[in-house]
Amino acid sequence: MPLTLAKAGEPARIKKVGGKEETRRFLEKLGFVTGAAVTVVSTVGGSLIVNIKDSRIAIGRDMAARIMV
């Protein structure tokens, strides 16, 4: 399922990162790689705030929809 459907507070593992090559590279640099643990902290407007590798990152819904957990 896409990261946008994950429940807040429940940890998940990234299974696949989709999208164009440059989008995947950008997400990899932020730590969104296959096998990484990610937790949705909250949903604010059109963005998700997620915990990944001891960092909090806000990403848009369109980016989060490309991350499968």
Number of domains in the chain: 1
DSSP for 1-59, written as a single string = -BGGGSPTT-EEE--EE-S-HHHHHHHHHHT--TT-EEEEEEEETTEEEEEETTEEEEE
Q: What pTM was estimated for this model as a whole? A: 0.88
* Predicted confidence (pLDDT) per residue in 4-61, tens digit: 999 999 999 999 999 999 999 999 999 999 999 999 999 988 899 999 999 999 999 9
The domain that holds 45 is classified in CATH as 2.30.30.90
Q: Give pLDDT, residue 68.
A: 97
* Predicted confidence (pLDDT) per residue in 43-52, tens digit: 988 899 999 9
Residues of the domain holding 17: 3-68
